[in-house]
Amino acid sequence: MTDKTGKTVLQRYMRIPQPEDRVMCEYLWVDGSGEGIRSKCRTLDFEPKHPKECPVWNYDGSSTYQAEGSNSDMYLHPVALYSDPFRMGKNKLVMCEVFKYNGKPAESNNRKSCNEVCEKAAEEIPWFGIEQEYTMLDVDKHPLGWPKNGFPGPQGILSETKYAV
């Protein structure tokens, strides 16, 4: 029986010995869509302990929706470093900000402006809340607690909720 999941193939490659004096650094960045994650791997002859130790690296931004054909060089500036949970060992994931050929942040580089604001407000203690949204359905596949002939009224104090029919 063949391995349809590829685990056997993966294990074969995971067992290949990696030289002690080499570290694979997977540079990661957000592409021009603002949603896609891109990466490319660079082998270093030392283990970086801080993102500033990782070299700035470039790529062709026309293939990632970040530049047109002319002046398409984009530059990856490492800003965070993590142990690579996939390759393990000394290998690293390198989170990067993207800058254009002229030194300005790429349009999809929202981290830079966010980080600047966070640094200005470093004395503040931010509050973050996660709003978990879900819908429970009744046995008839209608949202539980909703009126069967319409929609609930506007949100507010439970005792004042009116149903719109």
pLDDT of residue 148: 83
Q: Is residue 121 part of a domain?
A: no
Q: Is residue 22 part of a domain?
A: yes
Q: Is residue 16 part of a domain?
A: yes
- The average pLDDT across 135-162 equals 76
Domain co-membership, 97 together with 26? yes
Q: Is residue 103 part of a domain?
A: yes
CATH code of the domain covering residue 29? 3.10.20.70
**By residue range, what is the domain housing residue 75?**
7-112
| 13-21: Cβ within 8 A, 24+ apart | 18/89, 18/91, 21/45, 21/46
Q: Is residue 27 part of a domain?
A: yes
Instruction: Indicate if the pLDDT at residue 22 is higher than 70.
Output: yes
Structural domain total, the chain = 2
Work out the pLDDT band at 137, boundaries 50, 70, 90: confident
Distance between CA atoms of residues 134 and 148, nearest Å: 19
Instruction: Indicate if the pLDDT at residue 157 is higher than 70.
Output: no
In this structure, the number of other CB atoms found within 10 A of the CB of residue 23 comes to: 21
Q: Is residue 65 part of a domain?
A: yes
Q: Is residue 117 part of a domain?
A: no
pLDDT of residue 156: 63
Decide if 108 contacts 30 (C-beta within 8 A): yes
CA quadruple 129, 29, 81, 123: dihedral positive or negative? Answer: negative
pLDDT of residue 42: 95
Instruction: Indicate if the pLDDT at residue 32 is higher than 70.
Output: yes
Work out the pLDDT band at 95, boundaries 50, 70, 90: very high
Mean pLDDT of the chain: 84
Domain co-membership, 85 together with 164? no
In this structure, the number of other CB atoms found within 10 A of the CB of residue 106 comes to: 22
Decide if 138 contacts 148 (C-beta within 8 A): no
pTM of the model: 0.68
Work out the pLDDT band at 77, boundaries 50, 70, 90: very high
Domain co-membership, 40 together with 93? yes
Residues 6+ apart with CB under 8 A from 44: 22, 23, 25, 54, 55
Calculate what percentage of the chain has a pLDDT beyond 70: 90
pLDDT of residue 3: 63
